[in-house]
Amino acid sequence: MSTSSSFNPNNATSISSQPAQRVPYPAAITFPAPLQPGDRIALTAPSSGVRADLHQLVYRMRDYLIELGYEPVIGDSMWTNYKCVSLPKAERAAELERYLLDEEIKAIVPPWGGEFLMELLPLLNWERIRQLPPKWILGFSDISTLTFAYTLQTGYGSAHGPSGVDIAQSKDETTSRWHDLLTATSGQSIEQSSSAMYQSKADYSRAGFTLDAPTRWEWLGHEQQSEAELTVSGRLIGGCLDVLAALVGTPWAQVTDFIQQYGEQDGMIWYLESCELNAGAIYRHLWQMRQAGWFQHTHAVLIGRPAGYKPLQEFELIDALHMVFDELNIPVVYGVDIGHIPPQITMINGALAKVHVQNGSGTVTQTLA
C-alpha cells in the first residue's frame, strides 16, 4: 500500500487516446447481471482517492462488502490523493479499464467523486468495453461522468447512487436500497420512496447519517397545491450537473443519438444534482443542455437537493428551473433525494421509471427492461 503523493497528475504512460466513433447501440438497453454472493467488486478511484488520514473509510468499505457476501478487490488508486486526483490520468485509466475488461469483476464502486474524471474518457478502449457483458458501476458526483458516458457509449445500464463511502457509512432505508437495484433481475421493478428526513451537514467522523431536516419533493409551480398530483414515466438518464455540462458537445455524450434510440417511444426522465453551483451557474448549464437538444422527448426532470448552493443576488434555483423548462412544458420536481445531501435513492441509467409526486412526497419505480 503506497501513500506517496509525489507525482505529476499529467504524467503520460502507455495508454493512448482512443478515437471516438458513433455508438452502435443495441436494440434495447442491456442491464448488468444481478450481483450474487461471492462476486468480486472492484474498489477503485478513477477521480479522487482517499488520503492517508481517511484510510479507515477504505477499510470500512471493504468490511461492509465482505459482510454482504462479496469479495472486494482494492485498487492502488484508492490509497492516494494529490491535486484532486488519486493518480496520474493514464494510471487511473489503466486501472479502471483493467476492471472494466476483467469478466471476474462484476461491479465497480469508487469511494466518492472528485473533479477530473472526464480526462479518462478518451483513454478508455470503448470498442473493447462494448464487446464484453455489462457490469455495474455505482456512484455519484464526478463518478456520474463515468456512469453517464458508460451508458451513452455502450447502451448498458449504470447506477447513480451512494458512493462506496456512503454505502458503508449508513444503512438507512433510503441509502441501502442501492443493493436492491444491483441485485434486481431483468424485468424486475423496484419502488423507492422519498425519505422522511435528510442530513444537512456531512460528517465522516462517525458511521451513519444524522438525518435532521425534513424532506420535501416539490413540483415546480404547484408548491402550495397539496392536492396536485404528478404521475409520469420515461427512461432515466442523468447525473451531476457540475460535470455533465463539461461533456456537452463532446464525443462522450452522444445524447441526442441515445434519445433517438431509446427515448422516442418511452420518453425520457432526466435526474440532475449539483455541487458547488450557485443559481446562475445552474441556469447556464441547464440552458446549454437545452440548446444542445438534451431535453428532447423529456417527460419530467428531477432535481436533487443542491449542495454548496447560493442564490445569485435575488436569482434563485426555482427561477432557473422556470426559465429553462416552462417554455418546454416539462414538469420539474426539486428537492429530490438525489446527490450530495444524503440520503439518496439509486437511479439506473436506461431503466424505465414511473415517478409519482404529491404533497411533498414521492416514489420512483424502476424496471430493468
Grid coordinates belonging to 7: 507525482
Question: ∠ at Cα 280 (275, 282), nearest 5°?
Answer: 45
pLDDT number for residue 9: 41
pLDDT number for residue 24: 87
Q: Which CATH class is domain 40-186?
A: alpha beta
Question: ∠ at Cα 167 (244, 113), nearest 5°?
Answer: 30
Distances from the Cα of 218 to the Cα of 158, 326, 336, angstroms = 26, 15, 8
pLDDT at 170 over 60: yes
Read off the pLDDT of residues 1-23 as tens digits, 9 standing for 90 and up.
333 333 344 443 344 455 456 78
Residue boundaries of the structural domains of the chain: 40-186, 192-367
- Mean pLDDT confidence for 249-265: 95
- Mean pLDDT confidence for 35-44: 98
Buried b (16+ CB within 10 A) or exposed e, 72-103: bbbbbbbbbbbeebbbbbbbbbbbbbebbeee
Element (H, E) at 194: none
Q: How far apart are CA 135 and CA 67, in angstroms?
A: 21
Q: How far apart are CA 166 and CA 298, in angstroms?
A: 30
pLDDT number for residue 8: 46
pTM: predicted TM-score of the whole model, two decimal places: 0.93
Read off the pLDDT of residues 291-323 as tens digits, 9 standing for 90 and up.
999 999 999 999 999 999 999 999 999 999 999
CATH 3.50.30.60 fits 192-367, yes or no: yes
**pLDDT band at residue 169 using 50, 70 and 90 as cut-offs:** confident
pLDDT number for residue 18: 52
pLDDT at 202 over 80: no
Read off the pLDDT of residues 274-295 as tens digits, 9 standing for 90 and up.
999 999 999 999 999 999 999 9
Tell me the percentage of the chain whose pLDDT exceeds 70. Answer: 93
pLDDT number for residue 190: 98
- Mean pLDDT confidence for 235-243: 98
Instruction: Compute the mean pLDDT over every residue in the chain, rounded to the nearest whole number.
Output: 93
